[in-house]
Amino acid sequence: MVAFALSRDVIDSPVGTTLLDQQLVVYRTSDGVVVADDICPHRGVALSAGTGDGTSVACAYHGIRFGSGGICVAVPAHPRSKIPARLNLRGYPTVERYGLVWTCLRPDPNGVIDQQLPTMPHWDDPGFQQVTKNMDTDQDPRQIYDFNLRIFEEDRAIVEIQKPENLPLDPRIEVNIAADRSSVAYRRGLRGLGLSQFFTT
């Protein structure tokens, strides 16, 4: 499974996106997020041009509505007729976790999706701080190396006059302020691993 959207960006209104050259529509209902091909099964209009109300989305052309799981729930031209299953959207398994929306364009035929997600057991632990970064896969790696080297060189002069020389794992050795939450958690994690040889405990 791949993460392709921030959970907070997925709203009632259908939004079009492209994943691995496949055009998808994503929208939110009270039952969760729906990810499907961005095409209305009726006459091929992009569903991302439609509207949503939190329970379903409506195609911009003839107003056919699709709800949770991409199931067709209303055909305005024939409100009393049975809705054919062929009007349901072609959807993909979707999981919201770690503040992200995950999907898979080639789902496991056995329906197994949860085990394919990376495990981040401390994600909801208040003692840990989440640090995320968008990586540009087209960026020249040399730019990343140069940037990290510049940051390292900026810190070098300060770090080399810092005491103690080893990383202090005992939080009483220094005075921590609120902004140090992630470094305190990091040191606590190192202590929990039993590290001490290159650290001050």
Q: Which residues bind ligand FES (CB under 6 A)?
A: 40, 42-43, 45, 59, 61-62, 64
Nearer to ligand FES, 62 or 150 (CB): 62
34 vs 40, which CB is nearer to ligand FES? 40
What span, in angstroms and rounded, lies between the C-alpha atoms of 55 and 59?
14
Which residues face 16 on adjacent strands? 25
Q: Rounded to an integer, what distance in angstroms lies between the CA atom of residue 60 and that of residue 40? A: 9
Smallest gap from residue 17 Cβ to ligand FES (A):
19
H-helix or E-strand spanning residue 185: helix 181-192
Contact by Cβ (8 Å): 57, 66: yes
**In the complex, least distance from residue 80 CB atom to ligand FES, rounded to whole angstroms:** 17
In the complex, minimum distance from the CB of residue 85 to ligand FES, in angstroms, rounded to a whole number: 16
- Residue 61 or 186: the one with the smaller Cβ distance to ligand FES is 61
Minimum CB distance to ligand FES smaller for 59 or for 101: 59
3-state secondary structure 22-63: EEEEEEEECCEEEEEECCCCCCCCCHHHCEECCCCEECCCCC
Instruction: Kindly state the smallest distance separating residue 54's Cβ from ligand FES, in Å.
Output: 19
